[in-house]
Chains A and B, each alone.
Chain A
């Protein structure tokens, strides 16, 4: 059985529907473990004091902000190539979640930056490219809501998502060129020597897993809602037609 069989909306709903509450509880549990562990049971870093603990929100949300856009890109491609409605609706469902993640990353970063860098905001490349990513999310969502015909909206937003991805990537490197920043480089990677001690790394990993689970649960839930919304609209339209044209 191929993965494409889940492109049938009914099968998608039947399969993912029961998962959603489980995923919600699981992500809540994992997040609770990760955050409590991170906030209360890790030592304070010598240079940063207790403010370092905001990374348990900041890093996972930043991670998901980018991954949400990547997921939208893949879903848009699937919609453009194979015309599966579930895929287009999943892209639509992911956008507000990704936008909120971007906002969380920006706000927690500002809260951390105030005591550490002495400023809420700096035109640092990473901060700036996140702000630009936020603007891309805004434009994408605005285009979805502006077009009444759902198929047309799915097509146009998919095209925007493809073009926007290229330009978002380009902006990322353009702002690097434009200003050397305050933000530290990537301190987590799989292939290099870790420069974050294990005491911080493990709870951070738990928090990341929690955010991934939360994202998956929210996207599945919202996709299901979109599918039902569309079904209701179709039923209403059918009812209207039945009224106006008596059989």
Chain B
């Protein structure tokens, strides 16, 4: 599992791996929003938590189809499947690698971009916390979606159609926690529910992803 993780991380950061693309996408979406809604400070700071959450979600979506597609193309996916590591473990390692290369940079960059949108101090803190808890769930759900669509041509668009509805609960609780934090309200309930979703995804979705991979590799 550690070997798969290390391999995926190395592949991502080396040339052509697409590391940082998600981050750049995140930056561009956040920069475009003020052009769309106007530069008024109070409007921007009010919608900032939601915008940052939606942008982070889209940025995570962008790199999902790379999780299994590249391995499928060059034939290493069947090899990984015959390795002693069970497919469930492979799915979990892939999700972790995706989170480390996409989710974690987003979490770190979010408060910096929050400055651009005039996000308040406590808002930044709770945005950081909610993203840190919520993005692993995004990676896990995305890994499941990628496993479903791995063998397909034009899988990318289909992948977003399948994965985006699954992202709804995470987005609701994550953005709610960030919004409440920015308004100075209690954030415990949405954060607990968000954590619950994340843990539930970590416990169950690798099995679903492995089942989908087995079907594709059959």
Contacts and interface: CB of A to CB of B under 8 A. Distances in A.
Contact of B205 (A135, A139, A163, A170): A163
A124 interface: no
A40 interface: no
B144 to A, nearest CB: 6
A15 interface: no
Given A159-B211, A163-B208, A142 B169 contact: no
Contacts, number: 77
B54 interface: no
Interface string A167-195: 11011001101100000000000000000
Interface range, B side:
20 to 34
A60 interface: no
A177 B161 CA distance: 24
A242 interface: no
Interface string A146-163: 110000100110011011
Contacts of A170: 169, 197
A174 B215 contact: no
Contact of B208 (A139, A147, A162): A162
A155 to B, nearest CB: 4
B81 interface: no
Contact of A167 (B168, B189, B218): B168
Interface string B151-170: 11011001001101110110
Residue among B190, B212, B218 having the largest count of chain A Cβ atoms under 10 Å: B212
B184 to A, nearest CB: 19
Which label, helix, strand, loop or mixed, suits the secondary structure of the B interface? helix
B56 interface: no
Contacts of B166: 163-164, 167
B145 to A, nearest CB: 9
A177 B149 CA distance: 32
B148 A159 contact: yes
Contacts of A139: 158, 161-162, 165
Nearest to B175: A178
B152 A146 contact: yes
B216 interface: yes
Nearest to A148: B152
Contacts of A138: 161
A136 B165 contact: yes
A132 interface: yes
B187 interface: no
B176 interface: yes
A202 interface: no
B173 interface: yes
A143 interface: yes
A152 B149 CA distance: 11
A142 B149 CA distance: 11
26 contacts: A132-B168, A135-B165, A139-B158, A142-B158, A143-B162, A146-B155, A146-B158, A147-B151, A152-B215, A152-B218, A155-B211, A156-B212, A159-B211, A159-B212, A162-B208, A167-B169, A170-B169, A171-B169, A174-B169, A174-B193, A175-B168, A175-B172, A177-B173, A177-B190, A177-B193, A178-B172
Interface of B: 144, 148-149, 151-152, 154-155, 158, 161-162, 164-166, 168-169, 172-173, 176, 189-190, 193, 197, 204-205, 208, 211-212, 215-216, 218
Interface of A: 132, 135-136, 138-139, 142-143, 146-147, 152, 155-156, 159-160, 162-164, 166-168, 170-171, 174-175, 177-178
